[in-house]
Structure 1
Amino acid sequence: MPRHGLYWLGQDLRLHDNPVLYDAQHQLDSLTFVYIHYKSQRLEPYFNSAPSQIKQAFIHDCLVDLDHQLGVYQQHILVRNEPPLLAIDKLIHSCAITDVFWTRQFGWDEFEIWSLLQKRYPNIKFHLYESYTLYQQHQLTNVLSDFPQSYSKFVKQLAATIESPLPPPESLPPPVQQREHNLYPSEQALIVSGGERQALKHTETYFSSSLPAHYKDVRNALMGFENSTKLSFWLSTGCLSVKQAYTTVEYYEAQHTRNDSTLWIKKELLWREFFQWYAFHYQTKLFHFSGIQQHKPLTSYYASRFQMWVDGTTPYPIVNACMHELKETGYLSNRGRQIVASCFVHELQLDWRYGANYFEQQLIDYDVASNWGNWQYLAGVGADPRGHRQFNLEHQVNTYDPDGAYIQKWHGKAQCFPLDTTDAADWPQ
């Protein structure tokens, strides 16, 4: 009996280190690629899933790049703008699908859809792969059975070996459906280009320089594109494999130098890993107001304060500058994210979930686990053993923008009008 595969693409927009493609080349008679744009049906009042135009453009360009590369294999991507259950249902019937392939994602909505598909189609084989993380679930049995309450405990329990990245497939089965229309790059100006080829090019360029050896010294800078690895852009969409990133650091250490900076890059990749399995373990608690700590912060929702924060019109110049950069570029440094999140929770006393959701809309390098896990961390309801961290904004300015260059560049002038100018019942729509 012929085997016809359907590959539901998500955060795995690449050819290298892609176990789905590695297996598909030997197992299937045909393969259909589909990427589905859809709006989550979460009903929480803080939630708005509409991504910014910048974020949409970056994802689109990632798809364009993958589609172009698949052309070498006489393959292409079908793009759908409808609920996944409906889109996949149509393709299962039109392409006589026998096997469905998916890379595990760590958002609860996506996994719930995957579970519903399995129940709806008991006669179809469903193949779940794990290539968005350094480790696979079966390698972390001891860790996941009693999940560590902190990053440090998580790392101490890691004993498994990180497997080597897989090469791109030599060939791929043909598609069933013909191409419907060509994908063209977006016209949106972006600070980086999306796609696997740009990811690999950037990785090679960065690790061919001396920058990794000085990373720890400059990683907290608010300005300077070269002051962080910028790997998060492509890790978030799966254009770059995290195993590829980690092994590249190790290769750099073997060929050049191993110091605190290279170790710190690997540490941040392990922080990312921690948050993925944190999301896997706590499931919907990742989005709860009381977090994993099961206690509610003394914050609420104030419409005018939230809008000031979004627009960069708060009384705090450094926060305003950061918010302007985020809205204009779809990116914000790690230090900037911590500053605006701390202000959101502590100075503005806002419900942290609104801030996390705004980041979800805006950030090009948005990752559900890292984003919501870090917001819980700052709000004092997450994995931080110290709890409730508050940044002194004046100290942040004196340390990271002493000459005011960043505030000036991003027009962070303080606004001095009252924080609350509208009724707090003015819930966002």
Structure 2
Amino acid sequence: MKLGLIWFGNDLRSTDQKMLWRAAQEVDQLVCLYCDEPHVKHPSRYATQGMSTIRRDFLLEGLDDLAMHLESLEQSLFVSQHDAATSITLLLNALPISHIYRNHHGGWDEQQTLRQVANDFPDVHFHIDHGLTLFEPWQLPFQVTALPASFSTFRRLVENIDIASPMPIVRELPPAPNLNLPLIRPWQVEPIQGFHTFVGGEEAAQQQLSDYFATDLPRNYKEVRNALDGWENSTKLSPWLAQGSLSAKQIKACLDVYERDNGANESTYWIYFELLWREYFHWYATCYGKKLFLPGGLSNKQTQTSFYAERFRKWSQGNTPYPIVNACMKQLNKTGFMSNRGRQIVASCLIYELGIDWRYGAAYFEEQLIDYDVGSNWGNWQYIAGVGADPKGGRHFNLEKQTEQYDPNQHFIKKWQGHEFDEQLDSVDAADWPISPH
């Protein structure tokens, strides 16, 4: 009798899930496991406190939805509160698991954990699929280790490659074995802390996907995508895409149908363009590994930033001399979401106006954003800081011009109380001596 393990991560869905189909065909019993990594819930080296309540609730909703889908297939979702390496080692020592199914995750930590477990258990068959991306590695016209240095080059090389259709939902899974281990328990619903704009899980993801492409909004996407606020000004699919309750292939398939039925234009192409950006950063994280987190990024060049605790705290709370930045940060803290334009604005402010190491901003986004994706987040921060995939060497935005262009009547700033801030940015100088108020 063959026993398999599905190792879930940022792929909390039952549709377009190749590893479920593999397991259904290859093993007789199956354990479905999610590792609720403890390190994401605790303070980090970058003055952040761990996953925010809003992001945590979104994850819990996604797990609850996945558990219900598995239950409909007479399966169960098991959850470990310990790190993945410890949890899977425990399972492999306790049960005769011969097959492990896992989607490739681009992050350095995830790759290292997979390598560690695979090296420790060489007799186990590891089946690695690519359910988080549009393309399989073999489809790329270059080795992943030779990723193009710019997105523009990457896009030109891949944008016409055929993309596989999403896989349908699997209709039957092998049963779970009897499992009684102290560190691993069946999923139990955890209470959600309040009402949120986004609801995690595959059901909500499919609803938003269907609703968006049932409108004329895709035809105008490029014209409105830079708006700082408004539900209809972007697809709003990124949270579910990051959670994996929705796949990039599913979005592309719906986009193709929309273009077939309604015609293609520059805006519909731009939705695909944004998916390609996400794709690029996935392979970017895979290619560059821990360089994604170095202060000098890919080139390891010296940066002219430092860390100022008071400035960072005020930036994160939306209490700077820049109203548009304050409004964006208050929106993030309240909703777990921020427009792409807003992210660029606040990142530029942190780095160039406040002189703070970009990694602190990236870590704060990791704490707060419900659509946090390791490659997209850290890669985009490197892009703004000029230490990543930007041949022009960074992006320093003029905050007054950004306000004039994207919030000329200051409706967004007023909505989020961006004008409310302390008059003085610093209360101490570089030597921690008090600065007298002006």
Report the TM range for the smaller structure's normalisation. Answer: over 0.9
Give the whole-Å Cα distance in 1 for the aligned partners of 2:143 and 2:86: 36
For residue 320 of structure 1, what is the aligned residue in structure 2? 326
Measured after TM superposition, the shift of residue 94 of structure 1 is 3.3
Identify which of 278, 288, 303 aligns with 1:272. 278
1:247 to 240, 250, 253: 253
Identity %: 44
Q: C-alpha offsets along residues 120-140 of structure 1, whole Å, 9 cap, x if unaligned?
A: 112211111111000111222
User: Which residue in the other structure is 1:149 paired with?
Assistant: 149
Which residue of structure 1 aligns with residue 435 of structure 2? none
Q: Which moved more, 1:281-290 or 1:45-54?
A: 45-54
| Aligned residue type for 1:292 | L
Q: Does structure 2 conserve the Cα–Cα contact (< 8 Å) formed by 1:215 and 1:228? A: yes
The letter for the 2-side match of 1:165 is: P
After superposition, what is the alpha-carbon deviation per residue over 1:320-372, rounded to whole angstroms, capped at 9, x for unaligned? Answer: 11111111110001111111001011100110000000000000000000000
Change (3 A) 1:40 1:251: same
| Residue 195 of structure 2 corresponds to residue 189 of structure 1 | yes
Give the counterpart of 1:399 among 387, 405, 429. 405
- For 1:125 and 1:375, the matched residues in 2 are separated by 37
CA distance in 2, matches of 1:300, 1:362: 22
**SS in structure 1 opposite 2:38?**
coil
- Alpha-carbon offset, residue 92 of structure 1: 2.0
**Is the deviation greater in 36-45 or in 83-92?**
36-45
Residue 77 of structure 2 contacts residue 187 of structure 2 at CA under 8 Å; is this kept in 1?
A: no
Partner of 1:36: 35
| 1:174 correspondence with 2:175 | yes
- The within-5 A match list for 1:188-267 is 188-267=194-273
Asked if residue 345 in structure 1 is aligned to residue 326 in structure 2, the reply is no
Query: For residues 30-429 of structure 1, what are the structure 2 equivalents within 5 Å?
Result: 30-40=29-39, 45-46=45-46, 48=48, 50-140=50-140, 142-158=142-158, 160-177=161-178, 180=186, 182-183=188-189, 186-422=192-428
CA separation of 1:424/1:140 partners in 2, compared to 1, >3 Å: closer, same or farther? farther
What secondary structure is seen at the aligned counterpart in 1 of 2:301?
Answer: coil
8 Å Cα contact 1:39/1:50 also seen in 2: no
* Separation in 2, partners of 1:49, 1:23: 38
Deviates more, 1:173-182 or 1:71-80: 173-182
| Residue segments in structure 2 that go unaligned for 5+ positions in a row | 180-184, 433-438
Superposed CA offset, 1:174-231 (max 9, x none): 0113674532562432111111111111101100101111111111111111110011
How many Å separate the matches in 1 of 2:91 and 2:145? 37
Instruction: Tell me if the contact between 1:61 and 1:185 (Cα under 8 Å) persists in the aligned partners.
Output: no
Mark the CA change 1:181 to 1:395 in structure 2 (over 3 Å): closer, same or farther.
Answer: closer
Amino acid at match of 1:326: L
How far apart in 2 are the matches of 1:55 and 1:387?
Answer: 32
Structure-2 change in CA distance of 1:12 and 1:387 (3 Å): same
Distance 2:108 2:49 in 1: 14
Change (3 A) 1:87 1:423: farther
| SS of corresponding position for 1:142 | coil
SS state of the match for residue 131, structure 1?
Answer: coil
RMSD: 1.9
Structure 1 window deviating more from structure 2 (36-45 vs 106-115): it is: 36-45
Q: Name the counterpart of 2:182.
A: none
Provide the secondary structure at the position in 2 that maps to 1:99: strand
Compared CA separation, residues 43 and 218, structure 1 to 2 (3 A): closer
TM-superposed deviation, 1:293: 2.5
Are residues 67 and 185 of structure 1, via their aligned partners in 2, closer, same or farther at CA, if it must alter by over 3 Å?
A: farther
- What residue ranges of structure 1 are gaps of 5+ in the alignment? none
Distance in 1 between residues matched to 2:364 and 2:400, nearest whole Å: 24
2:201–2:240: 8 Å Cα contact kept in structure 1?
yes
**Which residue identity is paired with 1:35?**
Y
CA distance in 2, matches of 1:274, 1:405: 34
**Residues 303 and 423 in structure 1, CA contact (< 8 A), matched pair in contact too:** no
| 1:271-304 alpha-carbon deviations (Å, 9 max, x no partner) | 1111111111111111110011321221111111
Take 1:390 and 1:423, find their aligned partners in 2: how far apart are those partners? 25
Aligned residue pairs, count: 425
Q: Deviations over 1:6-36 (max 9, x none)?
A: 1111011111110100111111101111111
Q: Distance in 2 between matches of 1:15 and 1:180?
A: 18
